[in-house]
Amino acid sequence: MHPHPRASLACLTTVLLVAACSPDSKQPDTGEAPPVETLRVEEQTVTSNNHGLFDVDFEVKDGERVQLVLEDPNNGYVGTQLLIDPDGNTALDRDDWSGSHNELTEALTGAQYASTLNWPVREEDGTLAPGVWTLSGEILDRTQEPNKHADVEATILYRTDDAPTAGTAHVVMAYCTGVRDQDGVVEAMEAGVAYWQELYASWGITLTVEYTDIEVDPALPDTYEGVEAYGELLAGYDDYPLLMIVGDDINGDSYIYGEAAAIPGPATATRISAVEVSWLAHAGANGKFSDGEIGILGETMAHETGHYLGMFHPVEDGWQFWDAVDDTPECNSMSQCQDKLGANLMFPYPVCTSMVDCAPQDELSDGQTGIIQRYVGVD
Amino acid sequence: MRRALAFLAPLALGSSALAAEPTVALTNDNVVIQALRARSAVPCAALADQPDLAAELYAIAEADVAPAWVSLRAASCLAERFSTDGRFVGWVSPWFTDDERGGLGLAALTSSLANPATRSVIEPLARQAPLRWRDLYARRLDAADAAP
């Protein structure tokens, strides 16, 4: 265990919010009692010490996986340093990953507005032993200096899942102001969703998608900044859906095809709880969707949601950084990586075999599939 | 697809895209196309210095290159880096009159908003665009004006 100045809990409030149980309707009728999936949610407010450090203690029950969403009410930066199991052993240590060429979770790098740790990430991270776990974190102000005696709002989601290799995710797709009025956009989005659903079904995840509208300027800000209206929309749901926003473009660039707020993103309602998609970047110069463009649109939805559920690119453009999944092939040059990973959904860019044709990116390794199935927002 | 210019795109030398033009050959392994294909956008300033990068960007913008954002990025980079090029106005003007190229117009317009001189060239074109695109352009201009 690495030495770590543990924060004292100057303030701790705990609220148990939800205990929802429902039978898993996907299971065949075997005459046995149906498996039960349970999501319970707990909120705490903790206060940092003189070094901007804080602890969140949370009690895990047998068979649960967790997601911790840390928010700074003052919009500074917050992140995870350590995760300690009930026996005092370190399950996750930021020092082990800083400077690494492998990427496991952005919870360790911290983020403005909200930081999300979903645990476990990989199969080798093990299951959560029952008992009291501790997340030790750090909060910085907007100048990135330690924020002393500052409140941190922690939301802990606990998921019990008797069918860990199958699940359902509820998606809310929201059209920004005026986007529905653009010719062909709604039809293209729905066709893209159908392909996205097909891809995720092949990895054991059923997507249920509903459509709505949101009064947000379709010139979207980047997802790291987010929009208050995203959290307000999600607050109206009680089942922690994934939010996909459809706008004209993102961050003033006509060519950013889509963006996820974080890896992983929060299952709770915050201003950054969204994946954004640009219809224009996919429709191209003529603003109309070809079949090939709809295919890439569906893969964009699947790719960006993949980030939100916890997957990194198997290799980053530049070929010097990789994900932390053991079964994605190693590579270290463009040609080698395109050959080995070009068909992977999470490859950093489409691999185009000609000027006008790009190869499908419809593969995930078992290790990658396990990551998205362990996301707490997937039941 | 908007035109059969998959592999050969016009390279205009004068101020008009309709002038007699040589062509620049684009291939699937073109280094600028490869850079523009990346999902994480390469900054326009980081594009390799080709002998005539402006003409190459114009050719890419006008060609049908997959994925669709490649041509938009090319248009954006053209406006960001080469708005003072003598050929620029002739190149971009059709993007604001041809309904089938309005996306290129939006990319150029958005890119111009950070540079008042470039905006002064492009905004009048955008204000007269076909109706389908004019509202989008107007929203973009209004949002830029409303920004703090």
pLDDT in tens, A364-374: 999 999 999 99
Contact across the interface for B65 and A355, Cβ inside 8 Å? yes
Per-residue pLDDT, A43: 98
Report the candidate in B115, B92, B114, B107 with the shortest Cα–Cα distance to residue B137: B107
Shortest distance between the Cα of A349 and any Cα of chain B, in A, equals 5
* Confidence band of A8 (pLDDT split at 50, 70, 90): very low
Q: What is the model's pLDDT at position A32?
A: 58
Q: Shortest CB distance from B110 goes to which of A254, A284, A353?
A: A254
pTM: predicted TM-score of the whole model, two decimal places? 0.87
What is the token pair recorded at A310? 């916890």
Q: Strand pairing partners for A169?
A: A207
Q: Is A349 on the interface with B (CB under 8 A)?
A: yes
Closest CA–CA distance from residue B82 to any residue of chain A (Å): 17
Fold of A167-311+364-374: Collagenase (Catalytic Domain) (3.40.390)
- Least confident range of A95-104, A259-268, B60-69: B60-69
Q: What is the mean pLDDT of residues A258-269?
A: 96
Q: What per-residue confidence (pLDDT) applies to B1?
A: 30
β-strands A111-112, A77-84 pairing: antiparallel
Confidence of residue A11 (pLDDT cuts 50, 70, 90): very low
Task: For residue B128, give how far its alpha carbon lies from the nearest alpha carbon of chain A (Å).
Answer: 17
Give yes or no for residue A30 having a pLDDT over 80.
Answer: no
Question: In this complex, do B107 and A217 lie within 8 Å of one another by their Cβ atoms?
Answer: no
Q: What is the pLDDT of residue B58?
A: 95
Give pLDDT, residue A168.
94
Contact A248 B136 (CB under 8 A): yes
Mean pLDDT to the nearest integer, A47-60: 98
Residue A355 is nearest to which of B7, B41, B111, comparing CB atoms? B7
Please name the member of A249, A283, A357 whose beta carbon is closest to the beta carbon of B66: A357
Do A12-160 and A167-311+364-374 show the same overall fold? no
pLDDT at residue A252 in the model: 78
Output the six-digit token pair for A280: 């224009």
Instruction: Tell me the per-residue pLDDT of A295-326, one tens digit each, with 9 for 90 and over.
Output: 999 999 999 999 999 999 999 988 999 999 99
Coil vs helix vs strand at B29: coil
Q: Retrieve residue A238's tokens.
A: 């009680």
Q: Chain B contact for A179, CB < 8 A?
A: no
User: What are phi and psi for residue A276, nearest 5 degrees?
Assistant: -110, 145
Q: Are A90 and A145 in contact (CB under 8 A)?
A: no
* Cross-chain residue pair A281–B68, CB shorter than 8 Å: yes
Q: Which residues on chain B are in Cβ contact (under 8 Å) with A353?
A: 28
Q: Do B76 and A255 touch (CB under 8 A)?
A: yes
Q: Does A137 touch chain B (CB under 8 A)?
A: no
Both tokens assigned to A24: 């898993």
pLDDT score for A164: 76
Q: Do B103 and A352 touch (CB under 8 A)?
A: no
Check CB contact under 8 Å for A255 and B107: yes
Domain parsing of chain A, residue ranges? 12-160, 167-311+364-374
CB contact under 8 A, A254 and B132: no
Contact A296 B1 (CB under 8 A): no
Look at residue A329 in the predicted model and tell me its pLDDT: 94
CB-based contact A285 B68, cutoff 8 Å = yes
Mean pLDDT of A332-339: 93
Q: What's the pLDDT band for A254 if we cut at 50, 70, 90? A: low
B28 has a chain A CB within 8 A of its CB: yes
Please check the confidence at residue A104 and state whether its pLDDT lies above 80. yes
Distance from CA of B138 to the nearest CA of A (A): 12
* Structure confidence at residue A118 as a pLDDT band (50, 70, 90): very high
The mean pLDDT of chain A is 89
* Residue range A12-160, CATH number: 2.60.120
**What's the pLDDT score for residue A18?**
37
**148 residues of chain B, pLDDT tens digit each:** 333 332 333 333 333 334 324 357 788 888 899 888 876 667 899 887 778 999 999 999 999 889 998 999 999 999 999 999 999 999 999 999 999 999 999 999 999 999 999 999 999 999 999 888 998 899 889 888 987 7
A58-77 residues touching B, CB cutoff 8 A: none
Per-residue pLDDT at A48: 97
Task: List chain A residues with CB under 8 Å of B129.
Answer: none
3-state SS record for chain A: CCCCCCCCCCCEEEEEEEEEEEECCCCCCCCCCCCEEEEEEEEEEEECCCCCEEEEEEEECCCEEEEEEEECCCCCEEEEEEEECCCCCEEEEHHHHCCCCEECCHHHCCEECEEEEEECCCHHHCCCCCEEEEEEEEEECCCCCECCCCEEEEEEEEEECCCCCCEEEEEEEEECCCHHHCCCHHHHHHHHHHHHHHHHHCCCEEEEEEEEECCCCCEECCCCCCCHHHHHHHCCCCCCCEEEEEECEECCECCCCEEECCCCCCCCCCCCCCEEEEHHHHHCCCCCCCHHHHHHHHHHHHHHHHHHCCCCCCECCCCCCEECCCCCCCCCCHHHHHHHHCCECCCCCCCECCCCCECCCCECCHHHHHHHHHCCCCC
d(CA B37, CA B126): 27
* Contact yes or no for A257/B37 (Cβ under 8 A): no
Tell me if ipTM is over 0.85: no
B38 and chain A in contact, CB less than 8 A: yes
The chain A residue lying nearest B106, using CA atoms, is A254
**Interface contact B138, partner A, CB < 8 A:** no
The residue of chain A nearest to residue B144, with distances taken between CA atoms, is A252
Task: Note the pLDDT of residue B41.
Answer: 67
State the count of interchain CB pairs (< 8 A) between A and B.
Answer: 123
Interface test mutation site (partner A, options B32, B72, B104, B113, max chain A beta carbons within 10 A): B72
Arithmetic mean of pLDDT, A343-354: 93
Q: What is the pLDDT of residue A278?
A: 94
Q: Do A183 and B132 count as a contact with CB atoms less than 8 A apart? A: yes
pLDDT of the residue at A62:
93
Q: Of residues B96 and A219, which shows the higher confidence score?
A: B96
Assess whether pLDDT exceeds 60 at residue A31: no
